[in-house]
């Protein structure tokens, strides 16, 4: 039983003969520890298993001479691989075969040994070595790691003076002072120093030293040396990288800043400082929202609250208060920095001034609004013009037949009723004239006009028209250029604007009329897309009335739009002004703020003198004739009435239903025709085209045009330059007959195509 206990014990156990120090027995654990076989035991001595010389003598003496037979001590032993291990040895004596033997039990200090080895390994990995200087001898001792740091073989004798000289020249005074203060005053130190190894390499070390004091006297200096070259170089690279980053950040034109979640700035670059005209120290620690208008801060707060780990980067635009107090627009790209709990700990922002971009976008939106408004007005104008044209044809028929009925009716009551029909037709004709003015399809009779003279002649009438409670202020530009315009249309513009201003100043006020010369250069055209480079005449009509509300300002030029009470106006006044201005190649706009009155600004092209056909003189008598007239009109009722008027006056009429029919008839019967009466707009071939084709073969033929409006064919052709008069429907019978007679009697009214071909 005792043999089994010995053999299977957890501790290594040996039986040793103290006389010859021979190992007589070893259990399984001892054989594994020391790498022994049973056959090796007779030749093994206990001293061979230790790493401290002959410790067995100490144990044997203690046991054999002591008061008891129990003994404990720490002992270094060598395992089978030759490694030195710390063990706690317990020894006792026993009698075997009449002789005293020792029983040794060895328990390895595993935890302490592993900690010691771990410390040694960590010191090696961290390049940490130990050193000691004994005083007063100044004897220096180094561990192997310190030798390794210096590049010197371990064990090489080194004096303290030699060790100091290994330091770089710039570090040598520091270590000399530290050593001296340690010897004299027992001061400790912690320095980073530069060494030069025996191979000439420069390395950085951290030297930590302290003094050991006995009886108030320094007896030893000791400490550690650690190679920190890699760390120092890494820090240097990091600083260089940071400096490069700082240089990049500081030199770029964009604003760069960092701020805490509460808005306090922790970093600003120079561009940000220049933008706000402040130094960095004036901004750091301040809430960046102080530079933002208070009305915009809620939106900023919502933006900052929207960051999370899935949305770390967001872009935002907001206004900032510039040093001069003006508002500037900025665009920012902000990035959130999170901690381990995904909580925002800092924000990084990069921004730029986009005020010019915002202004360009605003200008683009304004121009788009102008375009949409122009397109809308154009569409409404086309509709109004089309309605007016067709209505004119109906009015012509109504008025014409009413006029003819008056000639054939003797009953006074019937005559009175027919006259009322004529009056209604005339009022309707005036209404269509206004629609034609708005749609820019009225017939113009332009000539050179000086607005100053025109307005001077109207001032007395305007004062009577608007009343004495309104003051009229007239401020002309005495060097005003002329415009090429219809005189009556220009008078209508002035009168309509004056009446419109009067209606806004019911309790009195001021009506101002001004004229100016304006030179439209490239910058002016850029701000006003409607303009073309060249001279303009600017007419400004202002009132001191209540102003126009913003919500209706864009609609004031629409036909039939009015804010007046029922029966107080048709809403055609401003629409007619708009149509006249645009038809003359100009532009009109209204500037108004509530409570500050309204100004209508009109720009009309300034042109040189040109000769065009003037208005047909007033008709006094309706002459008769006997000539043959080719009449081309696509509206059957208008064609029939016109033919009856001419036939009643003695003329022979050859009717044609359209332009192509007129050419066919002229080719067959042209020798009979004395005058060609053409509608401007007809299917298949228009009046001007028919005129040109007939005139090429018969240049002395006389022509007369009639139309409800002068469409593009009229303005793009050479009708007026060739002296061809045009009657605007609805016209009176006398006007038609007078014009026909004038053309037939005046040989100068023929077209001069032969000269044109030259």
Q: 67-71, 74-78, 107-111, 649-653 — which is least confidently predicted?
A: 67-71
- Are residues 154 and 252 in contact, defined by beta-carbon separation less than 8 angstroms? no
Residue with the bigger pLDDT between 486 and 535: it is 535
* Predicted confidence band of residue 487 (pLDDT cuts 50, 70, 90): confident
Residue 712: pLDDT above 60?
A: no
Residue 602: pLDDT above 90?
A: yes
Sign of the C-alpha dihedral, residues 49, 54, 58, 60? positive
Residue 719: pLDDT above 60?
A: no
Phi-psi region of 547 (alpha: psi -120 to 50; beta: other; left: phi over 0): left
What is the pLDDT, as a whole number, of residue 484? 86
Cβ neighbors of 353 (< 8 A, separation 6 or more) are 275, 328, 329, 330
Decide: pTM greater than 0.85: no
**Is the link from the previous residue into 584 a cis peptide, with omega within 30 of 0?**
no
Highest averaged pLDDT of the listed ranges 155-169, 229-243, 577-591: 155-169
Q: Which residue, among 604, 433, 491, 560, has the nearest Cα to 499 in the 3D structure?
A: 491
Residue with the bigger pLDDT between 519 and 503: it is 519
What is the pLDDT, as a whole number, of residue 161? 92
What is the pLDDT, as a whole number, of residue 571? 42
What is the pLDDT, as a whole number, of residue 618? 32
Residue 521: pLDDT above 80?
A: yes
Q: What is the pLDDT of residues 304-328, one digit of tens each?
A: 888 888 888 988 888 888 888 888 8
The overall average pLDDT reported for the chain is: 79
Sign of the C-alpha dihedral, residues 138, 144, 148, 152? positive
- Are residues 88 and 107 in contact, defined by beta-carbon separation less than 8 angstroms? yes
Q: Which residue, among 399, 407, 383, has the nearest Cα to 638 in the 3D structure?
A: 399
Q: Taking residues 438-464, what's their average pLDDT?
A: 74
Q: 491-495, 553-557, 612-616 — which is least confidently predicted?
A: 612-616
Q: 519 phi and psi, to 5 degrees?
A: -100, 110
Highest averaged pLDDT of the listed ranges 167-181, 519-533, 556-570: 167-181
Percent of the chain predicted with pLDDT > 70: 80
Q: Which residue, among 667, 656, 665, 658, has the nearest Cα to 689 in the 3D structure?
A: 658
Q: Taking residues 123-141, what's their average pLDDT?
A: 80
Q: Where are the domains of the chain?
A: 2-113, 126-233, 252-353, 359-439, 446-605, 628-757
Q: Which residue, among 751, 752, 612, has the nearest Cα to 676 in the 3D structure?
A: 751
Q: What CA–CA distance (Å, rounded) separates 396 from 403?
A: 10
Residue 468: pLDDT above 90?
A: no
Q: What CA–CA distance (Å, rounded) separates 52 from 56?
A: 10
Residue 2: pLDDT above 60?
A: yes
Q: Which residue, among 182, 227, 223, 236, has the nearest Cα to 206 in the 3D structure?
A: 227
Could you tell me which CATH class the domain 446-605 is placed in? alpha beta
Q: Where are the alpha helices (DSSP H) in 505-572?
A: 522-527, 550-553
Q: What is the pLDDT of residues 334-356, one digit of tens each?
A: 989 888 888 888 988 888 888 88
**What SS3 class is residue 122?**
helix
Q: What is the pLDDT of residues 534-584, one digit of tens each?
A: 899 999 999 988 887 776 767 677 765 555 544 444 444 677 788 788 877
Asked if domains 2-113 and 126-233 share a fold, the reply is: yes
What is the pLDDT, as a whole number, of residue 380? 60
If you write DSSP's letter for every residue of 464-499 in order, what string do you get?
Answer: HHH-TTEEEEEE--TTPPPEEEEHHHHHHHHHHHHH
* Predicted confidence band of residue 159 (pLDDT cuts 50, 70, 90): very high
Q: What CATH number was assigned to the domain covering residues 2-113?
A: 3.30.450.20
Q: 382-396, 449-463, 744-758 — which is least confidently predicted?
A: 744-758
What is the pLDDT, as a whole number, of residue 613? 29
- Are residues 388 and 438 in contact, defined by beta-carbon separation less than 8 angstroms? no
Task: Determine whether domain 628-757 maps to CATH 3.40.50.2300.
Answer: yes
Q: What is the pLDDT of residues 351-404, one digit of tens each?
A: 888 888 888 887 777 777 766 666 665 666 566 666 666 777 777 778 778 877
Q: 550 phi and psi, to 5 degrees?
A: -60, -35
Q: What CATH number was assigned to the domain covering residues 126-233?
A: 3.30.450.20
Q: What is the pLDDT of residues 111-130, one digit of tens each?
A: 455 555 555 555 555 568 88
Q: Which residue, among 383, 406, 394, has the nearest Cα to 560 in the 3D structure?
A: 383
- Are residues 520 and 538 in contact, defined by beta-carbon separation less than 8 angstroms? no
Residue with the bigger pLDDT between 238 and 147: it is 147
Q: What CA–CA distance (Å, rounded) separates 435 from 559?
A: 8
What is the pLDDT, as a whole number, of residue 608? 45
CATH topology of domain 252-353: Beta-Lactamase (3.30.450)
Q: Taking residues 32-45, what's their average pLDDT?
A: 80
According to the 3-state scheme, what is the secondary structure of 132-181? EEECCCCEEEECHHHHHHHCCCCCCCCCHHHHHHCECCCCHHHHHHHHHH
């Amino acid at each position: 039983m005792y043999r089994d206990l010995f053999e299977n014990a957890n501790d290594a156990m040996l039986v040793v003969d103290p006389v010859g120090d021979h190992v007589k027995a070893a259990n399984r654990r001892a054989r594994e520890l020391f790498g022994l076989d049973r056959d090796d035991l007779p030749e093994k001595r206990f001293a061979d298993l230790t790493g401290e010389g002959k410790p067995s003598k100490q144990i044997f003496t203690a046991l054999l001479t002591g008061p008891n037979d129990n003994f404990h001590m720490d002992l270094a032993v060598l395992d089978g691989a030759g490694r030195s291990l710390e063990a706690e040895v317990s020894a006792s004596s026993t009698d075997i075969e009449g002789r005293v033997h020792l029983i040794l039990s060895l328990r390895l200090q595993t935890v302490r040994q592993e900690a010691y080895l771990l410390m040694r390994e960590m010191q090696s990995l961290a390049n940490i070595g130990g050193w000691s200087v004994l005083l007063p001898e100044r004897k220096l001792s180094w561990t192997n790691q310190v030798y390794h740091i210096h590049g010197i073989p371990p064990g090489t004798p080194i004096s303290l003076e030699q060790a100091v000289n290994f330091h770089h020249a710039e570090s040598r005074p520091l270590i000399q002072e530290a050593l001296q203060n340690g010897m004299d005053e027992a001061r400790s130190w912690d320095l980073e120093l530069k060494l030069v190894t025996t191979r000439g390499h420069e390395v950085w070390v951290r030297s930590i030293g302290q003094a050991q004091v006995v009886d108030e006297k320094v007896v030893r200096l000791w400490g550690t040396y650690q190679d920190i070259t890699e760390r120092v170089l890494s820090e240097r690279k990091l600083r260089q990288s940071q400096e490069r980053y700082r240089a990049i950040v500081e030199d770029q034109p964009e604003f760069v800043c960092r701020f805490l979640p509460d808005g306090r700035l922790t970093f600003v670059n120079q561009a940000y400082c220049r933008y706000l005209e402040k130094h960095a120290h004036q901004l750091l620690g301040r809430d960046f929202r102080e530079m933002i208008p208070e009305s915009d801060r809620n939106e900023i707060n919502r933006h900052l609250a929207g960051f999370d780990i899935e949305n770390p980067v967001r872009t935002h635009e907001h206004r900032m208060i510039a040093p001069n107090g003006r508002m500037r627009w900025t665009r920012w790209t902000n990035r959130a920095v999170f901690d381990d709990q995904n909580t925002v700990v800092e924000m990084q922002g990069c921004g730029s001034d986009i005020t010019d971009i915002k202004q360009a976008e605003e200008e683009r939106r304004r121009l788009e609004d102008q375009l949409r408004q122009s397109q809308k007005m154009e569409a409404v104008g086309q509709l109004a013009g089309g309605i007016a044209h067709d209505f004119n044809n109906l009015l012509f028929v109504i008025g014409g037949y009413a006029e003819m009925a008056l000639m054939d009716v003797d009953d006074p009551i019937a005559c009175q009723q027919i006259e009322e029909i004529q009056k209604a037709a005339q009022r309707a004709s005036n209404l269509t004239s206004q629609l034609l003015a708005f749609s820019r399809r009225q017939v113009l009779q332009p000539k050179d006009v000086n607005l100053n003279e025109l307005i001077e002649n109207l001032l007395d009438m305007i004062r009577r028209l608007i009343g004495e409670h309104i003051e009229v202020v007239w401020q002309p530009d005495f060097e005003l250029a002329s415009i090429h315009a219809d005189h009556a249309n220009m008078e209508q513009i002035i009168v309509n604007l004056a009446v419109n201003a009067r209606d806004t100043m019911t309790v009195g006020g001021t009506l101002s009329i001004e004229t100016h010369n304006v030179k439209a250069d490239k910058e002016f055209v850029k701000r006003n897309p409607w303009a073309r480079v060249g001279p303009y005449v600017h007419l400004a009509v202002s009132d001191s009335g209540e102003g126009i509300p913003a919500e209706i300002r864009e609609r004031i030029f629409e036909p039939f739009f009015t804010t007046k009470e029922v029966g107080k106006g048709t809403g055609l006044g401003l629409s007619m002004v708009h149509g006249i201005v645009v038809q003359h190649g100009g532009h009109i706009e209204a500037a108004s703020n509530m409570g500050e009155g309204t100004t209508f600004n009109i720009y009309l092209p300034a042109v040189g003198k040109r000769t065009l056909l003037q208005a047909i003189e007033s008709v006094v008598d309706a002459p008769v004739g006997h000539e043959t007239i080719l009449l081309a009109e696509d509206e059957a009722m208008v064609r029939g009435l016109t033919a009856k008027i001419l036939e009643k006056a003695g003329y022979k009429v050859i009717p044609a239903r359209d332009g192509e029919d007129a050419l066919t008839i002229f080719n067959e019967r042209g020798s009979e025709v004395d005058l060609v009466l053409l509608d401007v707009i007809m299917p298949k071939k228009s009046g001007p085209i028919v005129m040109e084709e007939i005139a090429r073969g018969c240049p002395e033929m006389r022509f007369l045009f009639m139309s409800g409006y002068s469409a593009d064919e009229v303005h793009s052709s050479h009708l007026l330059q060739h002296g061809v008069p045009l009657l605007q429907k609805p016209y009176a019978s006398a006007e038609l007959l007078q014009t026909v007679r004038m053309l037939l009697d005046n040989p100068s009214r023929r077209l001069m195509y032969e000269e044109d071909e030259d």
